[in-house]
Structure 1
Amino acid sequence: MLTIGVLQMTSGVDPEANLAVIEDAAKRCAKRGALMLFTPEMSLLLDRDRARARAWIESDAPDRVIESLSVIAAKQHLDIVVGSIPVAAGGGKWANRTHYFHPDLGPPVTYDKTHMFDVDLASGESWRESNAYEPGREVVTVEDTPLGRLGLTICYDLRFPALFGALGDRRCDAIAVPAAFTRPTGAAHWHVMLRARAIEAQAFVIAAAQVGRHEDGRETYGHSLVVDPWGEVLLDMGGDAPGLGFCDIDLGRIREVRAQVPALANRREIAKS
């Protein structure tokens, strides 16, 4: 049995303030004996004002934050999965990038969000993530984490089973799904999709989420979840407030579920017509 920390945040437009929240959570995780900390999508900067965000993203500030997070992981002897940080990607666009920090001060493992959130919601909300962000093109896993092999995804990726199928084929033991889900889509689909992805991949799913009303005016759904390979919800942090939650993980559960329902072993390629 091992313990992980899940940080639910109401990130704002001040990266230093958001970094302080993550550092405090890392200290509390170390004190509790947790081996890993998971944070949401856009942990360091959540700002729909792209002109204002650009000044930070296209400076050297993200590099300084990444260095600070590496030091925090080392100091607290903690693996930290920072759900995502917006960084310059070249060609005038940015990347929505997960960073996995080992406590050994080595370079972080990174993953760029694959699927862009380009939608018009019935609530009147309109989002065009692809206007500013370049999609990632690689399936990324992190080997030899405290949870075993960890697959990396971000938020809207949750709606695309092929990515999770690829992570299942790689026999991931856990999959991170950091998110900043809107309230309407979260209320409709968040729990059922996360449970489905855990069942399909027969892996733990850890989904640290943004929650509440943010400085830039948006509202996010919250309900950071940890789901086991059978689809059982082990942790639900609710939709009311930020906070740090802890969850005990029994890795033996993966073997039990895969033996009971050997879906990964029985999977066959379907011919395309």
Structure 2
Amino acid sequence: MTTVAAIQMVSTPNLEDNLVTVRRLVAEAAGKGATLVALPEYWPIMGMTDVDKVALAEDPGAGPIQECMAELAREHGIWLVGGTLPIVSPSAGKVLNTTLVYDPQGMSMSRYDKIHLFGFNKGTESYDEARTIVPGDTVGVFDAPFGRVGLSVCYDLRFPELYRAMGECALIIVPAAFTYTTGRAHWEVLLRARAIENQCYVLAAAQGGMHVNGRRTWGHSMLVDPWGEVKAVLPEGEGVIAGELDPVFLLGVRDSLPALRHRKM
């Protein structure tokens, strides 16, 4: 059995404040016995405007955000899936929204740049990530001691073909900053669908609350098992959820309902 944890935050426009919060919450997750910890999307900054994150963009392998994540992985001896941070892109004024994975020695082991960029326009709510983010183009997976782990971010959750392209995973991770509006309608059903159709665990680390910039995120960080059952959830506010990955249960689901073997496409 492997214990995993998801961190839920209500990130601010201030990097230093968010660094303090993430250090405290990762220590709490490690204290619960987690050997893999996932951070939420945009954990280092939820700026007053979309362009604020561009000023904090780091080159790969350098910068205070990456230094913090490497240090936390090494200090607690955990696999750390670093939510997302802004990484410098070739396009002026834009960044890559990047997940970095660190092993228990603090070494960067995998990277995924968010492929699907969120756009939403309804009433007074309007979002367009493409204004400040360059999309990635490569599927992200890595091998952990318990099996293959698939990487996705927030809006990716609506595109099931991405998860099929990952191959057979033991765990899929979804850092997110779902809006309150879309989260209330779709978050849980999409997470459970991805777990059921891929017959694997899904660990979602979310932003969850009212932010300084006026945005409200849905929260509900959760762990879902391969049968689609929610094993742990935190509705709102900062905190930690944790649970176990049971390889015997996972194999039992796949043996009793061999949907992955029945695929024709």
TM-score band w.r.t. shorter chain: over 0.9
Q: Give 1:212's aligned residue.
A: 209
Amino acid at match of 1:137: D
Matched, 1:236 2:224: no
Amino acid at match of 2:214: G
Q: Give 2:245's aligned residue.
A: 249
Q: Give 2:72's aligned residue.
A: 72
| Among 230, 239, 262, the residue aligned to 1:266 | 262
Matched, 1:225 2:222: yes
Distance 2:168 2:53 in 1: 37
**Displacement of 1:117:** 0.7
Matched, 1:21 2:17: no
Query: Deviations for 1:114-172, whole angstroms, at most 9, x for unmatched residues?
Result: 10112212x421111111111110011011x14421000000000011101212xx111
Matched, 1:7 2:4: no
**TM-score normalised to the size of structure 2?**
0.94
Query: Deviations for 1:47-72, whole angstroms, at most 9, x for unmatched residues?
Result: 25134333222689972220221022
Contact 1:56–1:62 under 8 Å retained in 2: no
Matched, 1:127 2:123: no
Q: Partner of 2:66: helix, strand, or coil? A: helix
Q: What are the residue-to-residue correspondences of 1:39-188 with 2, within 5 Å?
A: 39-57=39-57, 63-92=63-92, 93-121=94-122, 123-143=123-143, 145-167=144-166, 170-188=167-185
Q: Unaligned regions of 5+ residues in structure 1, if any?
A: none
Amino acid at match of 1:166: A
Q: RMSD of the TM alignment (CA)?
A: 1.8
Amino acid at match of 1:202: Q
Q: Unaligned regions of 5+ residues in structure 2, if any?
A: none
Q: Give 1:196's aligned residue.
A: 193
What's the % identity of the aligned pairs? 38
TM-aligned CA distance change 1:13 to 1:157, over 3 Å: same
Query: Deviations for 1:32-61, whole angstroms, at most 9, x for unmatched residues?
Result: 321111111111111251343332226899
Distance 1:147 1:41 in 2: 24
Distance 1:236 1:33 in 2: 17
Distance 1:59 1:207 in 2: 26
Distance 1:82 1:72 in 2: 10
**TM-score normalised to the size of structure 1?**
0.91
Distance 1:52 1:230 in 2: 40
Contact 1:141–1:150 under 8 Å retained in 2: yes
Runs (4+) of structure 1 exceeding 4 A deviation are 58-62
Contact 2:53–2:86 under 8 Å retained in 1: no
Q: Partner of 2:120: helix, strand, or coil? A: strand
Distance 2:55 2:215 in 1: 20
TM-aligned CA distance change 1:59 to 1:17, over 3 Å: farther
Amino acid at match of 1:218: R
Amino acid at match of 2:208: V
Distance 2:90 2:76 in 1: 33
Contact 1:62–1:87 under 8 Å retained in 2: no
Distance 2:46 2:189 in 1: 25
Contact 1:36–1:146 under 8 Å retained in 2: no
